[in-house]
Amino acid sequence: MIDPKGLLIGNYKLIYTDYGLLKEHTTFVRLNSNKSQSWHDDNVRAIGMLLDFYDVYGAIDDPFKLFLRFSEVLRNGTINESGHDPIGLYWPPRSIQVQQKTVSHINALSDFLIALNPSHKKINPLRKSTQYEDMLKWAAYCRSKNNSFLGHIKGQISDIGVSRLISVRHSLAPLTQSPKCFPKDKYTDFVTKGLKSKKPFIHLRNWMAVHLMHFAGLRESELCHLWVDDVIGIRDGRTIRANITLYHPEFGIDRFGRKRAKVLASYGLEPRNRHAEKRSTRAGFKQTVVDSATEQPNGYSSKIYFFGEGSDVLFWNLYSGYLNYLAILKPSHPYLFVNEDGSVMTLNNFNRQYRFAIKRIGLVPGKTFGTTPHAHRHSYKQALEDAGLPEKIIQLCLRHHSLRSQDEYGELSSERIYEMMNSAGHNFREHYASSEMLEIIGSL
C-alpha cells in the first residue's frame, strides 16, 4: 500500500470484492500491522470464507443467524453423504483449531466495526458465561502468566463472566508422539556425503546451516537473518571459536551500534521478515526471549550457544573456508547465507537441496522420520536434556519467549552458560570432530 504522497504504508493481504476494496477491513488490517504474517494470513482467510459463504448461501437479514449457520458449516462442511454440495463450496469439515481461529478473527473484525458504528448489529453478541467457562479462562490465564518471562507485569484478565453466543467447544488435545530428532548415527554421513556437492561453496554453505541447527538450535528461518559480521572469532589458546549473536531483523542494534533496518535500507533492502509472503526471499522471525547475557542496548538480540566442546571451533573452520568464497563473490548485501551468484539463500532452495541430500544417503524426507531441517533443533534440545542441563539454560539456548524456573538460577552470564555447555558436551570431538571430518572441511 502506498499513501497519496508516495510513501510506503506496508505490505498487506487485503480483500477485494466485486464492489471494490473492503475499506473497513483494510483499516482493521493496518491497525494490526504489528501482528505476525501468519495472523494476517489467517485473518484474510477467515473473512474471505465468510464472504464466500454469504455470496453463495444468500442474504440473511439477521447477522447473528448468518454467522450461526456459517459456524455450523465450518464444523460439518458443505458436502452431504452422497458427495454432493448443494451450495457449491465443497468445504470439508474444519478442525477445532481452524474453527476457533476463524471465529476469533471474525469476532475481532465485528467488534471493530461496532466500535466505528455502534448502531450496527453484532454478528456474535456476548452472553453471561457459565462457571465452567470462567474456570477454563482462569486456568488459561494463570498458565500464560506463569510461563511468561514478564509474568509479573501481565495485564489482568478481562472477559471473566461473559462469553460469545457462538463459540467453538474446546476439545482434549490428541495424544502425540514426541518430536522426532535427526537420526544420530546418520549425521556424519549426511553432512559429509549427503550434502556433498560438485561445488565446494554450496557444500560449505549447507554444512554451516545444518551445523547451526544441529549444534546451536537455530530455526531454519533464523539462518536467513544472519549477517556475515554476526560471527566473530574468539581465540581460545591455540584455537579460534565462533561467537554468534542473532539480532532481530528490524530492531536489532549490532555491536557497531547500527540498527538492522537502517543498514539494510542503505543497500536498498528491507528486512526479510517484512517481505511479501509470495516473495521467495521472505523469512519469518519468531519472537525470542530478551537475552541479558548479550548486553545489548535494546534487547532485540539473543546469544547463540553451541552445545559440545569444540562445536564452535568446528563451525569457525567451516566459516573461515566459506569466507574465502564470499571474498570472490562480493555480495551486494550483508547476509551470511548466499547463492553462487551472490543473491540471498532462500528457504525453498535450501529445503530442496536438503531433501536431495537426505535421499542421497538412503533416507526418506519427512517429520515422521526426523529428516527435516527442524528435526535438528529437536536433536539440539534432546542433547541438552540428556546432558542434564537446568531447564532455564535449555530455554535460554532455545531462545524460547516463555521462560519458567527463572528465579531458581537467577541471572546467568554468557561465560557461565558457555562453561556449562562445554562441560556437558565433552564427547563432541569424539563423535563429530574426527580428523577425517576436519580433513574434508580443509579440502573444501
Residue 265 banded pLDDT, cuts 50, 70, 90: very high
> Length of the chain, please?
444
Of residues 196 and 140, more confidently modeled: 196
Residue 8 banded pLDDT, cuts 50, 70, 90: low
Q: Pick from 171, 149, 418, 145: which is nearest to 306 by CA?
A: 418
Task: Average the pLDDT over each of 111-125, 322-336, 394-408 and give the range with the smallest value.
Answer: 394-408
CA distance 373 to 397: 18
Residue 259 CB neighbours (<10 A) = 17
What contacts 262, CB < 8 A, 6 or more positions away? Answer: none
CA distance 199 to 378: 29
Residue 242: strand pairing partners: 233
Under 8 Å between Cβ of 108 and 120: no
CA distance 443 to 204: 10
Average pLDDT over residues 387-404: 78
pLDDT score at 408: 40
Instruction: Show the cell assigned to 57.
Output: 448461501
Buried b (16+ CB within 10 A) or exposed e, 368-388: eebbbbbbbbbbbbebbeebe
* Residue 429 predicted with pLDDT over 60: no
* Residue 283 predicted with pLDDT over 70: yes
Give long-range contacts, CB 8 A cutoff, 24+ apart: 168-177: 168/71, 168/75, 168/96, 168/99, 168/100, 168/103, 169/96, 170/96, 170/136, 171/96
* Residue 404 predicted with pLDDT over 60: no
Question: Treating both helix axes as pointing N-terminal to C-terminal, what angle do 311-329 and 200-216 enclose, rounded to 10 degrees?
Answer: 150
Instruction: Show the cell assigned to 167.
Output: 463459540
Residue 151 CB neighbours (<10 A) = 15
Average pLDDT over residues 52-68: 83
Residue 164: strand pairing partners: 126
* DSSP designation for 217: -
pLDDT score at 351: 96
Residue 18 banded pLDDT, cuts 50, 70, 90: confident
CA dihedral in degrees (431, 246, 401, 179; nearest 10)?
-30
Give me the amino acid identity at 248: H
* Residue 47 predicted with pLDDT over 60: yes
Radius of gyration over every alpha carbon of the chain, rounded to an integer in angstroms: 25
CA distance 101 to 96: 9
Residue 236: strand pairing partners: 239
CA distance 46 to 427: 50
Alpha helices in 83-198 (DSSP H): 96-116, 131-147, 187-189
CA distance 418 to 72: 54
pLDDT score at 336: 97
Average pLDDT over residues 328-340: 95
pLDDT score at 346: 95
pLDDT score at 96: 87
Integer angstrom CA distances of residue 206 from 211, 321, 339, 351, 439: 8, 13, 11, 10, 17
Average pLDDT over residues 345-350: 95
pLDDT score at 165: 60
What contacts 159, CB < 8 A, 6 or more positions away? Answer: 129, 137
Residue 255 banded pLDDT, cuts 50, 70, 90: confident
